[in-house]
Structure 1
């Protein structure tokens, strides 16, 4: 038996009822760093860290005194001490039996240092983001859960990076990864010491503020996060400017558990995004009602598409000099079964974020071209149709192909169609977005910028984007006769359009005085209620198409 004990790799040790070491095999000597004679006759305290000796001595005394051992036959993890004073974790399997001289306690000892290190690494991987070293979503949930379960307060701030996708697409994922690491370094510098920043997704971050239930303190932290983005990030040779929106929720007021609290912050973030970057929003209970209404509308839109409830109405674009129809803009309407005819303002934001956006956008383009072809069959070959695009159509990557195939399917020449884009698209003026519009313009398809002058698009943006038409926003036309600044803006836009070789269309003309003022300024194309609201195709045909003598093509001097 002794031969086996000394050849096994398992460390074996025995003690008597007084805790005196009576046997240790060679594996045990190697593990603990002692020679046999240095251990035999010494108490177990020799290999027990000092802080644990009292508990071990009491347990040995109980078993040595004849009480049954609760650990006999079980495996436990404890700390042990080597000869050089280093402490390490062991796994101990304990047995107790009656020997010739009384109670004997024996143990099999395994060094579990590597397993502990592995467990620590796995725990870290499970709770930390490997790229930035910040806590991950799992740890955010754990920390929030612990705070809320203990009856404490905590604020959670969620934000993502505006422009990060463009960095990855244009400069590569290595640059994007370095940018995330740079942000992980910058965040702690702008936040209070007890704030816990975390990365919970690709470009999604969170910050936990323990013991914070005051909306003012949470708002101050949100402003600090936004301040972190005011300074550019220098990554290698690139100087990158990003923005952010922040959603804020307070626990337990806005959520009694981590899932509900994070969902509240996410709702606030959604509202902050809609408000525009940079900015932040604090959660309000009404947001949940609004989100439920959006979910209901998404479901209704799905049914509406299947039931053919979406229709196009057409608003005429007029040659202001002759009064002839220059073209028509196709505008989406929803024949709701219970709410009647709905204008886009009531459902467009939901539709644009719906998985149906690409399908509906394709249908709008196809239906507008079909209607234009039908009108042309009546003898009006030069009338142009304008159709609005969704971001989903542009992001799909095959816009020029889809437009060309749609025109071919309905036998229309390219100049019969004009696609309209919003400022959001125009501002995304990287080559991926610009390429299909350049291709369409080169094929003589019109490209219009809707509502110019109301947002952030600059003149340099216009110079780079392949436009053929500017549309002056109705707000400037409305105030044209009463606000000197509005008049100056309209005059400047008309002059800029002429110098850039663009058509300029004034929207929202409602009175003859507005029309006269625009004509005097050199505007040649307009649309608005003075001429007609957007009309169903049958009524548009009756009022503007069947009267062939009043229709004509490209407005003279409109450029």
Structure 2
């Protein structure tokens, strides 16, 4: 009988143990897990017990069985029988184990995911608190992994991640945990009294492991990684804080040139908080009217005539004060606001050029800066066309300035966007030329009209022969390629004389006029017209 079976199972060593997913069919709550005595309690209280047990076949084999037991009562409500329905759950066990595995593990590498890591990290912290121990967390981020996906495809990228996981796992101790957060980010928990020296040694070992290329099919893929280290209890008393501290340290390692490890320091958290505040403030800056444009004259050196003006975005925050473009432009790119900001700059610059001309000031053209992110998007050309139509300007009234990285990069969409702008009749200027790793052989692939020499070279004129030689070389390169050259940051007469003698055609800087608002530039233009 079922009753006899239950009693025999209770006496049998290790058999008849019920597990999760027990439930009642009469609507009353049944505890989610039962020991062998609990079926009796469930049968008495709700008339049914359901659960998974281990049973034994006649040949002695132990197997998983899904069992439902129900009571049968007579007219007086007395239990007369028990009815049991069971099925062999052996075939379902692998699927169940897979379902239990997936929520806590990374589907690609099989490593613990963030959920499982946080659980293990929290347990390690509690243990360290009891034992007054220490532990370390390593945040490992592969350098330039996106390039692998972009050039070789995501399938190769996935296989590379699997290989990286295997390679990192080779150096772990039994108490350590390697997990994958997603993308190319891995976390390593060093448990068991890990000191700073031990964490540094482990990080260096990981860097050494990842310096050897990995062979994926016919591709020998070079690797490097940046690692951030946080320590308990110095850098955090809970799992989330330790992960965040290691993450900040990892970004510091990338800023230090990649391929190295860095420990978390308190000032990193302060810098991160400031950066977060800056991001939040920038999100509403346009709506609050905090952003504005300044304009700097550009001069023909041979004649002293106005060539044009460059529009420069400025941010005046009520609490932060004047925020430099080199601070807020990268933030706008990172948080996805550069498109909105760039469109506003283009629209306002075109409107202002029309205002000056309506007021009788002959401003030949206006230059605006455009980021690579804007070029990579498909809406830059329509935005420029809209600005020209709304303002009544022609393409020759506009210049677009881009950074030297457009020459170094190999983004087909960016090159196409530049070609479209050039075909429209808009002049293209490479800004800050000479400061990046420019591939000179690629200049002819980019449809540009002018090169702008970075102010750092101009400031050294008369003080450093190497900078003067570089400046002359850029001017000669521009002349040989048929490109006009403009120098920025000209502040002294001797700099202007040097540039003119070297063949530089255009210049801007405090010697000719500082960046000024639209009204001040109107006054400047009025004085220039008198002279």
Bin of the TM-score, shorter chain as denominator length: 0.7 to 0.9
Displacement of 1:465 in angstroms is 3.6
Instruction: Look up the match of 1:405.
Output: 386
- 1:318-375: CA deviations, max 9, x gaps? 2222222222221111233345444324533333333433211110111122222333
- The answer for the alignment partner of 1:283 in structure 2 is 264
Report how far residue 534 of structure 1 moved: 0.9
Larger radius of gyration: 1
Indicate how the Cα distance of structure 1 residues 438 and 167 shifts in structure 2: closer, same or farther if over 3 A, else same: farther
Show CA shifts across 1:234-280 (max 9, x none): 54455555654433322332222222211222233344445554444
Alignment of 1:146 onto 2:89? no
Structure-2 change in CA distance of 1:420 and 1:187 (3 Å): farther
Q: How many angstroms apart in 2 are the aligned matches of 1:169 and 1:348?
A: 25
Aligned to 1:131: 108
1:147 to partner: Cα distance: 0.8
Structure 1 pair 195–465 and aligned structure 2 pair: CA distance change class (3 A): farther
**Residues 327, 385 of structure 1: 8 Å contact kept:** yes
Matched, 1:120 2:97: yes
- Deviation sequence 1:184-210 (CA, Å, 0-9, x none): 333335666765332212333322222
* 1:529 to 2:472 alignment: no
Taking structure 1 as reference, are residues 267 and 313 closer, same or farther at Cα in structure 2, changes over 3 Å only?
same
Give 2:411's aligned residue: 430
Whether the aligned pair in 1 keeps the contact of 2:401 and 2:430 (CA below 8 Å) is yes
Cα separation, partners in 2 of 1:179 and 1:492, compared to 1, 3 Å: same
Q: Which residue of 2 aligns with 1:337?
A: 318
1:196 and 2:177 correspond: yes
Shift, 1:435, TM fit: 1.5
In 2, Cα distance between equivalents of 1:424 and 1:195:
42
Q: Which residue of structure 2 lines up, in the alignment, with residue 350 of structure 1?
A: 331
2:459 to 471, 478, 488: 478
* Matched length: 491
Spell out the pairing of 1:320-335 with structure 2 (5 A cutoff).
320-335=301-316
User: RMSD between aligned alpha carbons?
Assistant: 3.7
Change (3 A) 1:528 1:276: farther
Structure 2's unaligned 5+ residue stretches are 18-35, 43-48, 71-82
Q: CA deviation at 1:482?
A: 1.8
Within 1, Cα distance between the matches of 2:374 and 2:302?
Answer: 36
Q: Which residue of 1 aligns with 2:239?
A: 258
What residue number does 2:195 align with?
214
Contact 1:49 1:87 in 2 (8 A): no
Choose which of 379, 382, 400 in structure 2 pairs with 1:419.
Answer: 400
Are the equivalent residues in 1 in contact too, given 2:407–2:439 (CA < 8 A)?
Answer: no
Give 1:436 shift: 0.6
* Whole-Å separation in 2 of the counterparts to 1:245 and 1:425: 26
- Aligned-partner Cα distance in 2 for 1:456–1:228: 29
In 1, are the aligned partners of 2:160 and 2:214 still within 8 Å (CA)? Answer: yes
In 1, the alpha carbon distance for the partners of 2:173 and 2:515 equals 55
Q: Distance in 1 between matches of 2:199 and 2:235?
A: 13
Change (3 A) 1:337 1:438: same
1:450 correspondence with 2:450: no
List aligned pairs for 1:498-537, cutoff 5 A. Answer: 498-537=479-518
- Report the CA distance between 1:286 and its aligned residue: 2.0
Tell me the CA shift for residue 111 of structure 1: 4.9
- Where do 5+ consecutive residues of structure 1 fail to align? 6-11, 22-42, 53-67, 96-105, 551-559
Distance 2:109 2:188 in 1: 14
Secondary structure, aligned partner of 1:185: helix
Cα distance, 1:125 vs. partner?
Answer: 0.9
Q: CA deviation at 1:295?
A: 2.5
Alpha-carbon displacement from aligned partner over 1:55-112 (angstroms, at most 9, x marks no partner): xxxxxxxxxxxxx9677446786655556665445578899xxxxxxxxxx9997654
1:352–1:391: 8 Å Cα contact kept in structure 2?
A: no
Match of 2:367 among 386, 394, 411: 386
| Counterparts of 1:224 and 1:417, CA distance in 2 | 54
State whether structure 2 residue 214 is matched by structure 1 residue 205: no
Q: Structure 2: how far apart are the matches of 1:410 and 1:239?
A: 54
Q: Which residue of 1 aligns with 2:74?
A: none
- For residues 443 and 194 of structure 1, the distance between their equivalents in structure 2, rounded to whole angstroms, comes to 63
Please, which moves more after superposition, 165-174 or 356-365?
A: 165-174
Judge which range, 223-232 or 494-503, deviates more. 223-232
Partner Cα distance (2:220, 2:380) in 1: 31
Distance in 2 (CA, whole Å) between partners of 1:199 and 1:361 is 36
Separation (CA, whole Å) in 1 of partners of 2:199 and 2:436 = 30
What is the SS of the residue equivalent to 1:187? helix
Q: Which residue of 2 aligns with 1:179?
A: 160
* Structure 1 position 312, deviation (Å): 0.5
The 1:472–1:335 alpha-carbon spacing in structure 2 relative to 1, beyond 3 Å, is: same
Write the distance in 1 (CA, Å) between the matches of 2:309 and 2:177: 55
**CA contact under 8 A between 1:362 and 1:393: conserved in structure 2?**
no
Query: Which of 356, 371, 375 lines up with 2:356 in the alignment?
Result: 375
- Counterpart of 2:4 (choices 14, 19, 23) is 14
Deviation at 1:406, TM superposition (A): 1.9
**In structure 1, distance between residues paired with 2:127 and 2:91:** 34
For residues 253 and 424 of structure 1, what CA distance do their matches in structure 2 show? 40
Structure-2 change in CA distance of 1:441 and 1:227 (3 Å): farther
- Structure 1 pair 507/339, CA: closer, same or farther in 2 (3 Å)? same
SS of structure 2 residue aligned to 1:254: coil
- SS of the residue corresponding to residue 387 of structure 1 reads strand
Residues in 1 aligned to 2:3 and 2:85: alpha-carbon distance in whole angstroms: 7
